[in-house]
Chain A
Amino acid sequence: MYIPPSTLMMLTFSYLIFLLSMDWALAVDGAWYRPFVICISVIAVAAWAYRENNSDEL
């Protein structure tokens, strides 16, 4: 199964960021918008990863 490098990179980043920052995001004394910060960082990485159009039309 072929996984495009961009997708693989995005998945790795998402996994690591969720792994490392879930406690920070859900800390009771933390700001309520922290989970959104994580989500937006994943989206930003996805936007960067998919910035090049894949020319393959299968």
Chain B
Amino acid sequence: MNFELSTIFAVGAGYLCVLFAIAYITDRGWIPEKVVHHPVVYVLSLGVFASVWSYYASTGSAYRDGFGYLAPFIGISLAFLLSPLLLRPILNLTKNFQLSSLADLLAFRYRSPWAGTITTLVMLMGVMPLLSLQIQAVANTVRLLAPDSSETIMAVVFCIMITLFSIFFGTGKGSGRERHEGLVVTIAFESVVKLLALLVLGFFAVYKGFGGFAEMEAWLNTQPELLQRLKEPAPPGTYHVTALIFFTAAVATPHMFYIIFHENNHPRALNTASWGLPFYFLLLGLPVLPILWAALSINSQFAIEYFQITLGYDLGAPVFSLIGFIGGLSAASGLMIVITLSLSTMCLNHLILPIWQPTARQDIYRWLLWKRRLLIAALIWGGFLFYYLPNDSQNIRAVSNIGLIGSLQFLPAIIALLYWPRGNKVGFMSGLAVGTSIWLIFLFLPVSSGIDLIPAWDLSTREVSAISLLCNVLTFMVVSFLSQSSNEERISADICSVDNLRRQHRARLTAGSPEEFIRQLTKPLGERTATREVMQALRDLNMESNDHRPKSLRLLRGRLEANLSGLLGPAIAHDLIDRFLPYTADSEPGASDLAAIETRIEAYRSNLSGMAADLDNLRRYHRQILLDLPLGVCSLGPDDQIIMWNHAMADMTGTPSDEAAGLHLSEIGEPWHSMLYKFRDNDAPHQHKVTVNIKGNKRFISLHKAVIEKSDSPRVRHDGVIILLEDLTDTELLEEELAHSERLASIGRLAAGVAHEIGNPITGIACLAQNIRDETSNDELRNMARQIIEQTDRTSRIVQSLVNFAHSGSNNRSEQRMEVVHVAECIDEAITLVKLNRKGKHMQFDVQCEANARLKGDSQQLLQILVNLINNARDASPEESTITIQCEHIAASVQVSVSDEGSGIPETIRDRVFEPFFTTKEPGEGTGLGLSLVYSLVENLNGHIDIMLASERKQNPGTRVTLSFPAYEAKEDDSVLRDSPEKA
């Protein structure tokens, strides 16, 4: 092939510039967000896995192994098809704890910085040859297209471009946490380019190489040996190991981990990827066979791995060679960019930071940013040296293949972290050491450097892979069973394990507020970084900076650790948080945060089935009972932390359940704190009618408690106290009202007796006095008789009042007249009666009454009520003043009010005005039975009486008495009314 170097350079550089442009416009927000965040973009970005290894080497694989060339695609597709079991749980962990690499994940799970360091070192060994392979592929293809060009110069130019791109678009602002949307869109674009390139080359091979599909089939039928090789079943296990290696590679290669988990923008995108990525690989694998066959049909003289490039040249259409070159360039560049970004983070977190950390005075973000940039450059140029120094290009390809087998050694640890909580740090590292040693001794060293330490054992790659994995698994299990996990490891295992509940530590922190968090973290991070991180964590949790609840502070601590883990790696972050934000010394380990457990179960609900689902339903039912119980339920932990606060409790106290849960008892405010605290310390299990004052209202509350004893199991620490609060205020008021009515009734009975006993003698005295008055001519005697008559009249009136009062109190409701009473008519009649009195003649009456106001009852009783009230108003008002009588129909009631312009009723006597014989009038002016009588009659009419105090009326300081009766509706069955007996 004889392309001009300048042409190749222009095409290559132009393509890389397009990548820069796409990343730039994405980062600037010029591409709509719905496109950038679309699951298809995420799926395509995962196509980064199809590196030059897949792009170029698949034709050679297909030639040698037939359909076995699909084994890598099947392996990684299987990992995605099983994503709910493998990738989804890991995604949740990485999102919650800001873990950006497998080294982070393993260091977090096994709570060991060494786990991260060893993982990083093994990854470096396995992946660096893959980097070199990309550089070599680009340099080789350039040399193929332009034989006069220098491979080395092209490799250098390629490395420079990739270094610049990775640094500009992959390092962000140095926090290590943010997603790189420009990078993801660019990688997705590259996936589209390589897929289109292969599909175009596939169609080109079919139509240009054979003339169509039928002709290709016809040619294929003339190649029995080729068909035999294509479809011949491989020896057992041949492709299973390859598929297993690539299944593991989905998680255990740094670039795939980085794109799947770190750059995932929504868990739903992983759902799409579960079938989308296998489909992508299927499309990618389809054109491989036609390309291979077309090149074989024309006896191409070029290396079989580069048929994608040479086919166009062989078939006389050089432009297709350029298309093949661009596809290969996209495969190489995409992988190099992502792999260096992910490796740089791993190296920084697990190789650099454990031995060299920035001081508090330095700008940590800037420090990390520049270290990452340097590491990216170092990795890319390390890959270049790995390509440049050895002369054997075949060796690089072989070593890169062997490198992928190294990632297989992480499979046991990955499975165990999700499904085997018993596995521990010592077991993991022992298994990894054994497996990796076998891989190194039997594969890596012999292939990369020719050193064969045990030449007598002639094992195939497949055998070594299987043996190393088996030894790894066995060692991991045996050592884990023989060694103990630390407490931290057990907590971490619970967090990672799919089937276990996360048990948050319910303990108090030494720092009691977000401000204290900042002060504590200022020591290692500096004030600026500490403030920024704490504020960021508060924003992540939607938490207020004045939230001091222990539950919230624990959440804040967890969030901070996760955020710092994204910045500095999980090992450093955990150490830093443990040192500067420790729990208090009296914290009880194992005390679970029930709220956190419930949240977790709630989130997991749709995954529960069978007995677990039934148990969960039962749990919900019991919880709902407690929540909806009409008694206040408050559950306290041993550290006086509120664990449960039901709805009745929330209504009673005004503190919502979700706010109260997690608070310390001292933080719920008065008077509840004092009351609950005293009762909690008290030995008595019950306390009746405790009086509390809430916003000026007196409330009566009974308290009951039950103490939950400590469990023998160290994992169950739910001891504490359950307190029940029973609000008896309404009952107490009813009792008071009943007592009042009872008192009135007894007074009524007394009054009736007194009236009866006094009435007869008084009548006798009055008759005798009249006789004296009428029969004597002595003026002095007549005058005395008249005075006696006046006094007996007065006494008779009092007695009559007593009788009326007694009758009103003892009236049988069934004997009461039931008629439709027109309130307006009653008011007019009452005013007429009042005006008969001398004082009444000098008053003004302002009557505002709705004509349709009617009620059902005894009109005489209503008349008596109104006369009494108007008389009282008249007595209390100055002369010539106005008494206002209003009557209106409000909803289902009739309200009648009588207002005067007097001085009103003082608040001090408000409670006594309805008591019999209580009066503020001068002696001889009133009996004190008027309002008592009114009260009784209103009750008879099923009404309610209320007195508005002078202090409650701003415009008119006088008294207003308001009566409220059930209104009579015309719809009511009048026949009932007609049929009812009218009784006086």
Contact = CB atoms under 8 A, between A and B. Distances in A.
Contact of A53 (B81, B271, B279): B271
B419 interface: yes
A11 B85 CA distance: 12
A46 B70 contact: no
B606 A36 contact: no
B706 interface: no
A28 B279 contact: no
Given A1-B419, A31-B217, A43-B278, 19 more contacts: A1-B499, A2-B499, A2-B607, A3-B84, A7-B82, A26-B67, A26-B233, A28-B227, A32-B217, A36-B282, A39-B74, A46-B274, A50-B275, A54-B271, A54-B606, A56-B606, A56-B607, A58-B92, A58-B604
Interface string A23-36: 00011101111011
B274 A54 contact: no
Given A43-B278, A46-B275, A58 B89 contact: yes
B286 interface: yes
A33 B228 CA distance: 14
A39 B606 contact: no
Given A35-B67, A53-B271, A58-B92, A4 B84 contact: yes
Contact of B604 (A10, A32, A43, A56): A56
A53 to B, nearest CB: 5
B351 interface: no
B577 to A, nearest CB: 23
Interface in B712-729: none
B498 A2 contact: yes
A55 interface: yes
Interface residues of B, number: 43
A3 B84 CA distance: 8
A1 to B, nearest CB: 6
B233 to A, nearest CB: 7
Contacts of B606: 54-56
A14 B272 CA distance: 18
A44 B217 CA distance: 26
B201 to A, nearest CB: 17
21 contacts: A1-B499, A3-B84, A7-B84, A10-B81, A14-B81, A26-B67, A26-B233, A28-B231, A30-B231, A31-B217, A32-B220, A32-B230, A35-B70, A39-B70, A43-B278, A43-B279, A46-B81, A47-B275, A47-B276, A56-B603, A56-B607
B268 interface: yes
Interface in B219-271: 220, 224, 227-228, 230-231, 233, 267-268, 271
Please give me the 9 A-B residue pairs with the lowest Cβ-Cβ distance, nearest first.
A46-B275, A47-B275, A26-B231, A58-B92, A53-B268, A4-B84, A50-B274, A50-B271, A7-B84
Contacts of B224: 28
B600 to A, nearest CB: 7
Interface string B57-99: 0000000000100100010010001101100110010000000
Interface string B601-614: 00111111100000
For A11, A26, A30, A43, the residue with the greatest tally of chain B CB atoms inside 10 Å of its CB is A43
A6 B607 CA distance: 11
A44 B96 CA distance: 31
Interface in B909-937: none
A17 interface: no
Contacts, number: 87
Contact of B84 (A6, A26, A44): A6
B965 to A, nearest CB: 56
B289 interface: yes
A20 B275 CA distance: 22
Nearest to B608: A2
B274 A39 contact: no
Interface in B409-435: 419
Nearest to A39: B282
A31 to B, nearest CB: 7
Nearest to A2: B607
B607 A43 contact: no
A1 B498 contact: yes
Contact of A58 (B227, B228, B282, B600): B600
Nearest to A14: B81
Nearest to A3: B85
A5 B346 CA distance: 36
Nearest to A48: B275
B900 to A, nearest CB: 67
Nearest to B228: A28
A42 B81 contact: yes
Given A10-B81, A35-B67, A46-B81, A27 B231 contact: yes
A25 B608 CA distance: 39
Interface in B267-295: 267-268, 271-272, 274-276, 278-279, 282, 285-286, 289
B81 A57 contact: no
Nearest to B606: A56
Contacts of B267: 54, 57
A2 B77 CA distance: 21
Contacts of B81: 10, 14, 42, 46
A58 B603 contact: yes
A20 to B, nearest CB: 16
Contacts of A57: 92, 267, 603
A47 B81 CA distance: 9
Nearest to B227: A28
For A35, A50, A55, the residue with the greatest tally of chain B CB atoms inside 10 Å of its CB is A50
A32 to B, nearest CB: 6
Contacts of B282: 36, 39-40, 43
Nearest to A33: B286
A28 B227 CA distance: 7
A2 B610 CA distance: 11
For B220, B279, B498, the residue with the greatest tally of chain A CB atoms inside 10 Å of its CB is B279
Contacts of A42: 81, 278
A22 B600 CA distance: 43
Contacts of A28: 224, 227-228, 231
Contacts of A11: 82
Contacts of A43: 77, 275, 278-279, 282
Given A7-B85, A43-B275, A43-B282, A32 B289 contact: yes
A58 to B, nearest CB: 5
B359 to A, nearest CB: 38
Nearest to A57: B603
Contacts of A47: 275-276, 279
Contacts of A50: 271-272, 274-275
Contacts of B70: 35, 39
Contacts of A1: 419, 498-499
Contacts of A53: 268, 271
B432 to A, nearest CB: 24
A39 B285 CA distance: 11
A33 to B, nearest CB: 8
Interface string B625-666: 000000000000000000000000000000000000000000
Nearest to B281: A39
Contacts of B233: 26
A7 B85 CA distance: 8
B499 A4 contact: no
A2 to B, nearest CB: 5
Contacts of A27: 231
B537 to A, nearest CB: 19
A36 B84 contact: no
A24 to B, nearest CB: 11
A29 to B, nearest CB: 9
A56 B600 contact: no
A6 B220 CA distance: 40
A53 B274 CA distance: 12
A54 B89 contact: no
Contacts of B498: 1-2, 58
Interface in B27-83: 67, 70, 74, 77, 81-82
A28 B220 CA distance: 11
A2 B419 CA distance: 10
